[in-house]
């Protein structure tokens, strides 16, 4: 198998800003990245090494604090995410008003009927607004903020532009 291209990994945000994994069926996911040349989820691992009096080094693993920068995000009234991002930025909304769901999908086999996916509760925070002559930009950070669930989306739902998340293992394949 050849290496996966970057487009094999898709990041979607719920434009209705549902806040709980249990609300996945109500979500309207919109893919992000159409103007972005590079975007990665930074895992931000939290570890520390401690050397004890016996000369042993121990590592304390405190987990992760994942985040992702979406920059640029050009203001486009035709985008479902735009009105909410505009309102968060311009009205300085904080807390639960910035929460939504993120769907991450990996397409490992373009011929498969279903693709591995993860649904995550996240916080979306615009970092600035304005920009240069390229356009009105509202770059934002996505940070995990709550539950996460593993599952899959059907290839058919992705082709329609409305991926539908189903919790659990892909039928006939397992975890």
pLDDT for residue 174: 58
CA angle 18/24/29 to nearest 5° reads: 75
C-alpha torsion sign, points 80, 90, 119, 166? negative
Q: What are phi and psi of 85, to 5 degrees?
A: -65, -40
Please give the structure tokens belonging to residue 28.
Answer: 């309207």
Domain range list for the chain: 7-37+65-167
DSSP string across 117-158 = EEEEEEEEEE---B-STT--B--EEEEEEEEEEEEEEEHHHH
Please give the average pLDDT of every successive group of 10 residues along the chain, which has 175 residues. Answer: 92 97 96 95 95 95 96 96 97 97 97 97 98 96 97 96 95 72
**For the whole prediction, is pTM greater than 0.85?**
yes
CA angle 23/28/34 to nearest 5° reads: 135
DSSP string across 52-116 = -TTS-EEEEEEEE--EEEE---B--TTSSSHHHHHHHHHTT--GGGGEEEEEEEE-S-TT-SEEE
């Amino acid at each position: 198998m050849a290496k996966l291209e970057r487009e094999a990994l898709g990041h979607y945000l719920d434009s209705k800003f549902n806040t709980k994994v249990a609300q996945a069926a109500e979500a309207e996911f919109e893919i992000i990245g159409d103007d972005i040349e590079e975007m990665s989820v930074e895992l931000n691992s939290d570890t520390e090494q401690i050397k004890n009096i016996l000369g042993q080094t121990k590592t304390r693993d405190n987990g992760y604090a994942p985040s992702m920068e979406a920059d640029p995000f050009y203001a486009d009234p035709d985008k479902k995410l735009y009105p909410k991002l505009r309102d968060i930025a311009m009205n300085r909304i904080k807390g639960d008003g910035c929460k939504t769901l993120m769907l991450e999908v990996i397409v490992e086999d373009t011929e498969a009927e279903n693709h591995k996916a993860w649904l995550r509760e996240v916080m979306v925070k615009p970092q600035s607004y304005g920009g240069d002559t390229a356009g009105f930009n509202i770059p934002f950070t996505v940070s995990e903020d709550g539950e996460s669930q593993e599952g899959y989306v059907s290839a058919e739902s992705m082709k329609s532009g409305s991926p539908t998340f189903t919790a659990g293992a892909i039928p006939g394949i397992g975890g």
